[in-house]
A and B are shown apart, each in its own frame.
Chain A
Amino acid sequence: MVYVIIKELSPSADEVIIVTSSLMKDMTSKTDMYRANAIRVLCQITDGTLLTQIERYLKQAIVDKNPVVASAALVSGIHLLQTNPEIVKRWSNEVQEAVQSRAALVQFHALALLHQIRQNDRLAVNKLVSSLTRGSVRSPLAQCLLIRYTSQVIRESASSTQTGDRPFYDFLEGCLRHKAEMVIFEAARAITELNGVTSRELTPAITVLQLFLSSTKPVLRFAAVRTLNKVAMTHPIAVTNCNIDMESLISDQNRSIATLAITTLLKTGNESSVDRLMKQITTFMSDIADEFKIVVIEAIRSLCLKFPLKYRSLMNFLSNILREEGGFEYKKAIVDSIVILIRDIPEAKESGLLHLCEFIEDCEFTYLSTQILHFLGIEGPKTSDPSKYIRYIYNRVHLENATVRAGAVSTLAKFGAMVDSLKPRIFVLLRRCLFDTDDEVRDRATLYLNTLGADGAVEDMKEFLFGSLDIPLEPSEESFDINSVPKEVKIQPLAEKKAPGKKPTGLGGPPPAPPSTIDAYEKLISSIPEFANFGKLFKSSAPVELTEAETEYAVNVVKHIFDGHVVFQYNCTNTISEQLLENVTVIVDASEAEEFAEVASKPLRSLPYDSPGQTFVAFEKPEGVPAVGKFSNMLRFIVKEVDPSTGEAEDDGVEDEYQLEELEVVAADYMLKVGVSNFRNAWESMGPDCERVDEYDLGPRENLAEAVNAVINLLGMQPCEGTEVVPSNSRSHTCLLSGVYIGNVKVLVRLQFGIDGPKDVAMKLAVRSEDEAVS
Chain B
Amino acid sequence: ELCPTIKNILLLDSEGKRIAVKYYSDDWPTNAAKEAFEKAVFTKTQKTNARTEAEITMFDNYIVVYKFVQDLHFFVTGGENENEIILATVLQGFFDAVGLLLRGTEDKKEALENLDLILLCLDEIVDGGIILETDANVIAGKVDSHSMDAGAPLSEQVSLLLFHSSDYPLAKSIATILTYLGLQQTITQALATAREHLTRSLLK
Contact = CB atoms under 8 A, between A and B. Distances in A.
Nearest to B89: A182
Interface stretch (A14-22, A704-712, A725-733): A14-22
Contacts of A145: 2-4
Interface stretch (A214-222, A435-443, A450-458): A214-222
Contacts of B178: 5
Given A1-B154, A22-B157, A112 B3 contact: yes
A5 B172 CA distance: 13
Interface of B: 2-4, 48-49, 53-58, 65, 83-89, 116, 119-120, 123, 127-128, 130-134, 142, 145-147, 149-150, 153-154, 157-158, 160-161, 164-165, 167, 170, 173-174, 177-178, 181
Interface residues of A, number: 53
Contacts of A68: 142
A9, A72, A182: most-surrounded residue (chain B CB, <10 A): A182
A34 interface: yes
A138 interface: no
Contacts of A31: 149
A285 to B, nearest CB: 19
B43 to A, nearest CB: 12
19 contacts: A3-B123, A4-B119, A5-B174, A15-B170, A16-B167, A22-B160, A33-B142, A34-B153, A40-B127, A75-B127, A78-B3, A79-B127, A79-B130, A105-B132, A105-B133, A182-B86, A185-B83, A185-B84, A217-B53
Interface of A: 1-5, 7, 9, 11, 15-16, 18-19, 22, 31, 33-34, 40, 44, 68, 71-72, 75-76, 78-79, 105, 109, 112, 115-116, 140-141, 144-145, 148-149, 152, 181-182, 185-186, 189, 216-220, 222-223, 226, 253-254, 256
Contacts of A22: 157, 160-161
Contacts of B119: 1, 4
A69 B145 CA distance: 14
A34 B147 CA distance: 12
A218 B50 CA distance: 10
A222 B128 contact: no
A191 to B, nearest CB: 14
A222 B160 contact: no
A226 B85 CA distance: 13
Contacts of B133: 71, 105
A182 B83 contact: yes
B187 to A, nearest CB: 13
Nearest to B116: A1
Contacts of B181: 1
Contacts of A185: 83-85
B86 A141 contact: yes
B55 A18 contact: no
Contacts of B88: 217, 219
Given A4-B123, A19-B161, A112-B3, 12 more contacts: A1-B146, A1-B154, A9-B170, A16-B170, A22-B157, A33-B145, A44-B128, A68-B142, A149-B2, A219-B85, A219-B87, A256-B58
Contacts of A75: 127-128, 130, 132
B10 to A, nearest CB: 17
